[in-house]
Amino acid sequence: MEKLTTEQIDKALHLLKMRPDSKLETHLNACVHCGLCAESCMYYKTLHDDRYMPARKVELVAALYRKYCTLIGRVAPFLVNARPLDEQMAEEMTDALFGACTMCGRCVKHCSIGVDIAYVVHFGRRMLAAMGLVPATLQATVDAALQTGNNMAIPTADFVDTIQWMEEDLQDECGSEARIPLNETDKNILYTLNPREPKFFPLSIAALAKIFFAAKESWTISTDMYDVTNYGLFSGNNEHAKSIAKRLHDEVFNKHCKILVLGECGHGSRANRWEGPNYLQHSYEFETITAVELINTYIREGRIKLDKSLNQELVTLHDPCNLVRNGGLESELRYTISQSVTHFKEMTPHGIDNFCCGGGGGQLAMSEYNERRIAIGKIKADQIRNTGAKVVVTPCHNCVDQLIQLNNIYKLNVKIKTIAEIVADALVLE
Amino acid sequence: MYWYHYLGLAALVVFAVAMLWHFLRLIREGNPKDFSKKTGNLVKAEAYAYTTAMMPNHKETAYLHIPTFTAGALFHIGTFISILLFAVFFFISPAQFPLWLSRILTVCILAGAACGTGLLIKRMVVKKMRDLSHLDDYLSNFLTTLFQLFTILYLMLPHMFAPVYYIEVTVLLLYMPIGKLRHVLYFFAARYHLGRFYGWRNVWPPKK
- Chain A residues whose beta carbon lies within 8 Å of the beta carbon of residue B190: 26-27, 30, 113-116
- With respect to residue A337, please indicate whether it lies within any of the assigned structural domains: yes
Number of domains making up chain A:
3
Query: Thinking of the domain B3-22+40-200, which architecture would CATH place it in?
Result: Up-down Bundle (1.20)
DSSP assignment, residue B36?
S
Res A19: pLDDT: 82
A189 DSSP β-pair partners: A219, A259
- Chain B residues whose beta carbon lies within 8 Å of the beta carbon of residue A31: 180, 183
Q: Do A99 and A204 share a domain, yes or no?
A: no
In whole angstroms, how large is the CA radius of gyration of chain B? 20
B86-103 pLDDT per residue, tens: 999 999 999 999 999 999
Q: Do A114 and B197 touch (CB under 8 A)?
A: no
**B177 φ/ψ angles, rounded to the nearest 5 degrees:** -70, -15
Q: Do A150 and A272 share a domain, yes or no?
A: yes
Q: Is the pLDDT of residue B46 over 80?
A: yes
Structural contact between residues A27 and B193, judged by C-beta atoms closer than 8 angstroms: yes
Which residue of A23, A119, A282 is the best one to mutate when testing the B interface, meaning the one whose CB has the most B CBs within 10 A?
A: A23
Cα distances (angstroms) measured from residue A128 to each of A79, A373, B30: 26, 21, 26
Number of cross-chain residue pairs from A and B with Cβ atoms under 8 Å apart:
172
Q: Do A220 and A256 share a domain, yes or no?
A: yes
Q: Is B206 exposed, middle or buried (0-12, 13-18, 19+ CB in 10 A)?
A: middle
- Chain B residues whose beta carbon lies within 8 Å of the beta carbon of residue A56: 131-132
List CB contacts of B106: < 8 A, sequence separation 6 or more: B152, B155, B156
Residue of A nearest to B178 (CA): A72
What DSSP letter does each residue of B125-170 carry, written as one string?
HSHHHHHH--HHHHHHHHHHHHHHHHHHHHHH-HHHHHHHHHHHHH
Q: Which of A277, A298, A319 is the last residue of a domain?
A: A298
- Expressed as residue numbers, the domain containing A215 is 138-298
* Any A CB within 8 A of B134 CB: yes
* Any A CB within 8 A of B137 CB: yes
- Which value, to the nearest 10 degrees, does the dihedral of the CA atoms of residues A219, A220, A225, A230 take? 40
In whole angstroms, how large is the CA radius of gyration of chain A? 22
Q: Do A145 and A276 share a domain, yes or no?
A: yes
Smallest CA-to-CA distance from A63 within A52, A53, A50, A77 is with A77
**Looking at residues B90-119, what average pLDDT do you find?**
96
Residue of B nearest to A280 (CA): B35
Q: Do B190 and A26 touch (CB under 8 A)?
A: yes
Res A1: pLDDT: 81
Share of chain B above pLDDT 90, in %: 99
Res A20: pLDDT: 80
* Any B CB within 8 A of A21 CB: yes
Q: Do A403 and A311 share a domain, yes or no?
A: yes
Q: Do A95 and A158 share a domain, yes or no?
A: no
Residue A162 Cα, gap to closest chain B Cα (Å): 33
* Any A CB within 8 A of B39 CB: yes
Structural contact between residues A400 and A359, judged by C-beta atoms closer than 8 angstroms: no
SS (H, E, C) A283-307: CCCCEEEEHHHHHHHHHHCCCCEEC
- Which value, to the nearest 10 degrees, does the dihedral of the CA atoms of residues B156, B157, B162, B168 take? -50
Cross-chain CB nearest to A111 (options B61, B69, B207): B61
Query: Own/partner pairs for B22-26, CB < 8 Å, 24+ apart?
Result: B22/A29, B22/B177, B22/B182, B22/B185, B22/B186, B23/B185, B25/A22, B25/A25, B26/A22, B26/A25, B26/A26, B26/B189
- In whole angstroms, give the CA distance from residue A277 to residue B35: 5
Q: Is the pLDDT of residue B144 over 80?
A: yes
In which element (H, E) is residue A417 found?
Answer: strand A415-417
B27-37 pLDDT per residue, tens: 999 999 999 99
What DSSP letter does each residue of A208-256 carry, written as one string?
HHHHHHHTT--EEE-SSS-B---THHHH--HHHHHHHHHHHHHHHHHTT
Residue B206 Cα, gap to closest chain A Cα (Å): 9
- With respect to residue A147, please indicate whether it lies within any of the assigned structural domains: yes
DSSP assignment, residue A314?
E
Residue B102 Cα, gap to closest chain A Cα (Å): 31
A391 DSSP β-pair partners: A315, A415
CATH for A95: 1.10.1060
A314-327 pLDDT per residue, tens: 999 999 999 999 99
Q: Do A284 and B136 touch (CB under 8 A)?
A: no
* Any B CB within 8 A of A165 CB: no
Structural contact between residues A374 and A408, judged by C-beta atoms closer than 8 angstroms: no
Considering Cα of A281, then A319, then A325, then A361, what sign does the dihedral take? negative
Q: Do B186 and A36 touch (CB under 8 A)?
A: no
What DSSP letter does each residue of A86-127 carry, written as one string?
-HHHHHHHIIIIITT-----HHHHH-SS---HHHHHHHHHHH
- In whole angstroms, give the CA distance from residue A214 to residue A133: 48
Q: Is the pLDDT of residue B207 over 90?
A: no
* Any B CB within 8 A of A40 CB: yes
- In whole angstroms, give the CA distance from residue A192 to residue A184: 14
Considering Cα of A133, then A135, then A136, then A142, what sign does the dihedral take? negative
* Any A CB within 8 A of B57 CB: no
Residues of chain A with pLDDT under 70: none
Helices first, then strands: H and E counts in chain A: 22, 10
Structural contact between residues A14 and A130, judged by C-beta atoms closer than 8 angstroms: yes
Q: Do A126 and A147 share a domain, yes or no?
A: no
Q: Do A124 and A146 share a domain, yes or no?
A: no
Cross-chain CB nearest to B202 (options A21, A40, A328): A328
- With respect to residue A1, please indicate whether it lies within any of the assigned structural domains: no
Q: Do B61 and A40 touch (CB under 8 A)?
A: yes
Residue of B nearest to A35 (CA): B129
In which element (H, E) is residue A427 found?
Answer: strand A427-428
Q: Do B186 and A30 touch (CB under 8 A)?
A: yes
Cross-chain CB nearest to B36 (options A20, A79, A273): A273
- In whole angstroms, give the CA distance from residue B172 to residue B139: 10
* Any B CB within 8 A of A113 CB: yes
Pair type for strands A427-428 and A305-306: antiparallel
Cross-chain CB nearest to A35 (options B32, B128, B178): B128
The edge-to-edge listing of strands for the beta sheet with A415-417 is A343-344, A314-317, A391-393, A415-417
In which element (H, E) is residue B6 found?
Answer: helix B3-29
DSSP assignment, residue A323?
T
Q: Do A281 and A378 share a domain, yes or no?
A: no
Q: Which of A90, A110, A133 is the last residue of a domain?
A: A133
Q: Do A21 and B65 touch (CB under 8 A)?
A: no
- In whole angstroms, give the CA distance from residue A366 to residue A356: 16
Residue B198 Cα, gap to closest chain A Cα (Å): 7
Q: Is A79 exposed, middle or buried (0-12, 13-18, 19+ CB in 10 A)?
A: middle
Smallest CA-to-CA distance from A58 within A9, A86, A92 is with A92
Structural contact between residues A345 and A393, judged by C-beta atoms closer than 8 angstroms: no
Q: Do A21 and B40 touch (CB under 8 A)?
A: no
- In whole angstroms, give the CA distance from residue B61 to residue B84: 27
Smallest CA-to-CA distance from A338 within A308, A313, A309 is with A308
Q: Do B27 and A330 touch (CB under 8 A)?
A: no
Task: Count CA atoms within 13 Å of residue B61 on its CB side.
Answer: 26
Map out the domains of chain B as residue ranges.
3-22+40-200
Q: Do A271 and A415 share a domain, yes or no?
A: no
Q: Which of A298, A313, A341 is the last residue of a domain?
A: A298
Q: Do A358 and A420 share a domain, yes or no?
A: yes
How many Cβ atoms are within 10 Å of B19's Cβ, its own excluded? 16
Q: Is the pLDDT of residue B1 over 90?
A: no
Q: Determine the 3-state secondary structure of A321 from DSSP.
A: coil
Q: Which A residues 310-329 touch B at CB under 8 Å?
A: 324-328
Res B208: pLDDT: 65
Residue of B nearest to A352 (CA): B203
